[in-house]
Protein backbone atom coordinates (compact mmCIF):
# COMPACT_ATOMS: atom_id res chain seq x y z
CA UNK A 1 0.00 0.00 0.00
CA UNK A 2 1.30 3.45 -0.94
CA UNK A 3 2.24 5.50 2.10
CA UNK A 4 3.52 9.00 2.85
CA UNK A 5 4.73 9.88 6.34
CA UNK A 6 5.48 13.35 7.70
CA UNK A 7 7.26 14.50 10.81
CA UNK A 8 6.83 16.19 13.10
CA UNK A 9 3.04 16.23 13.10
CA UNK A 10 3.01 19.46 15.04
CA UNK A 11 5.57 22.19 15.64
CA UNK A 12 5.52 25.45 17.57
CA UNK A 13 8.27 28.01 16.98
CA UNK A 14 8.86 31.74 17.42
CA UNK A 15 9.17 34.29 14.68
CA UNK A 16 12.63 34.29 13.18
CA UNK A 17 13.28 30.60 13.83
CA UNK A 18 14.22 28.20 11.04
CA UNK A 19 12.20 25.01 10.67
CA UNK A 20 12.70 21.76 8.77
CA UNK A 21 9.74 19.61 7.87
CA UNK A 22 10.25 16.01 6.85
CA UNK A 23 8.46 13.76 4.40
CA UNK A 24 9.20 10.14 3.57
CA UNK A 25 7.37 7.99 1.07
CA UNK A 26 6.91 4.39 0.03
CA UNK A 27 4.93 4.25 -3.19
CA UNK A 28 4.93 2.28 -6.41
CA UNK A 29 5.65 4.07 -9.68
CA UNK A 30 6.87 7.24 -8.00
CA UNK A 31 6.86 10.25 -10.32
CA UNK A 32 7.21 13.39 -8.23
CA UNK A 33 6.95 14.85 -4.74
CA UNK A 34 4.79 17.88 -4.06
CA UNK A 35 4.48 20.25 -1.12
CA UNK A 36 1.31 22.18 -0.33
CA UNK A 37 0.43 24.78 2.28
CA UNK A 38 -3.04 24.66 3.81
CA UNK A 39 -4.32 27.52 5.86
CA UNK A 40 -8.05 27.72 6.43
CA UNK A 41 -9.25 26.45 3.12
CA UNK A 42 -7.84 24.62 0.12
CA UNK A 43 -4.22 23.47 -0.09
CA UNK A 44 -2.09 25.78 -2.21
CA UNK A 45 0.85 24.54 -4.22
CA UNK A 46 4.42 25.25 -3.07
CA UNK A 47 6.86 22.97 -4.88
CA UNK A 48 7.08 20.00 -7.18
CA UNK A 49 10.28 17.95 -7.11
CA UNK A 50 11.18 15.28 -9.61
CA UNK A 51 14.98 15.05 -9.45
CA UNK A 52 17.24 14.21 -6.53
CA UNK A 53 19.56 16.80 -5.12
CA UNK A 54 18.17 19.84 -6.91
CA UNK A 55 16.93 22.42 -4.46
CA UNK A 56 13.80 24.36 -5.27
CA UNK A 57 13.59 27.78 -3.69
CA UNK A 58 10.90 30.40 -3.29
CA UNK A 59 11.71 33.27 -0.98
CA UNK A 60 12.28 31.90 2.50
CA UNK A 61 11.06 28.42 1.54
CA UNK A 62 13.19 25.73 -0.03
CA UNK A 63 12.85 22.02 -0.63
CA UNK A 64 14.94 19.12 -1.78
CA UNK A 65 14.29 15.52 -2.74
CA UNK A 66 16.37 12.40 -2.16
CA UNK A 67 15.03 9.63 -4.41
CA UNK A 68 17.53 7.09 -3.14
CA UNK A 69 16.51 7.46 0.49
CA UNK A 70 12.88 8.25 -0.42
CA UNK A 71 12.46 11.48 1.45
CA UNK A 72 12.09 15.21 1.06
CA UNK A 73 12.52 18.18 3.36
CA UNK A 74 10.91 21.58 3.37
CA UNK A 75 12.88 24.37 5.01
CA UNK A 76 11.47 27.68 6.13
CA UNK A 77 13.95 30.32 7.28
CA UNK A 78 13.17 33.44 9.34
CA UNK A 79 9.65 32.22 10.02
CA UNK A 80 6.78 34.69 10.25
CA UNK A 81 3.33 34.36 11.80
CA UNK A 82 1.92 34.13 8.28
CA UNK A 83 3.75 30.84 7.85
CA UNK A 84 1.40 29.23 10.38
CA UNK A 85 -0.42 26.50 8.46
CA UNK A 86 -0.56 22.79 7.80
CA UNK A 87 2.13 21.71 5.35
CA UNK A 88 1.18 18.71 3.26
CA UNK A 89 3.50 16.44 1.36
CA UNK A 90 2.18 14.32 -1.53
CA UNK A 91 3.74 11.68 -3.75
CA UNK A 92 2.50 11.53 -7.30
CA UNK A 93 2.33 7.96 -8.59
CA UNK A 94 1.09 5.98 -11.52
CA UNK A 95 2.36 4.30 -14.68
CA UNK A 96 3.61 6.93 -17.09
CA UNK A 97 1.12 6.24 -19.82
CA UNK A 98 -1.93 5.49 -17.73
CA UNK A 99 -3.43 7.14 -14.72
CA UNK A 100 -1.95 9.12 -11.90
CA UNK A 101 -2.65 9.49 -8.23
CA UNK A 102 -1.52 11.79 -5.44
CA UNK A 103 -0.96 10.17 -2.05
CA UNK A 104 -0.92 12.68 0.80
CA UNK A 105 0.79 12.55 4.15
CA UNK A 106 -0.98 13.57 7.36
CA UNK A 107 0.57 17.03 7.33
CA UNK A 108 2.71 19.03 9.74
CA UNK A 109 0.85 21.71 11.68
CA UNK A 110 3.22 24.67 12.10
CA UNK A 111 2.43 27.43 14.55
CA UNK A 112 4.65 30.51 14.54
CA UNK A 113 4.32 32.66 17.64
CA UNK A 114 5.10 36.39 17.60
Partner 1 sequence: DAGVIQSPRHEVTEMGQEVTLRCKPISGHDYLFWYRQTMMRGLELLIYFNNNVPIDDSGMPEDRFSAKMPNASFSTLKIQPSEPRDSAVYFCASSPGQGRIEKLFFGSGTQLSVL
Specify whether the CB–CB gap between 78 and 18 falls below 8 A.
Answer: yes
Helix (H) or strand (E) holding 11: strand 10-14
Specify whether the CB–CB gap between 75 and 18 falls below 8 A.
Answer: yes
- What is the nearest approach in angstroms of partner 1 to the Cβ of residue 73? 19
Residue 25 or 79 having the CB closest to partner 1: 25
Q: Which of 49, 63, 72, 105 binds partner 1 (CB under 8 A)?
A: 105
Residue 16 or 106 having the CB closest to partner 1: 106
* Residue 79: exposure state from Cβ atoms within 10 A (0-12, 13-18, ≥19): buried
Using CB under 8 A, which residues numbered 7 to 46 contact partner 1?
31-32, 34, 36, 41-45
Binding site for partner 1 (CB under 8 A): 31-32, 34, 36, 41-45, 48, 88, 90, 92, 96-97, 99-107
Amino acid sequence: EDKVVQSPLSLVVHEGDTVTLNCSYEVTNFRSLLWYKQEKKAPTFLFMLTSSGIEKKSGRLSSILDKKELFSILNITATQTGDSAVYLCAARTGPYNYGQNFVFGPGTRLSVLP
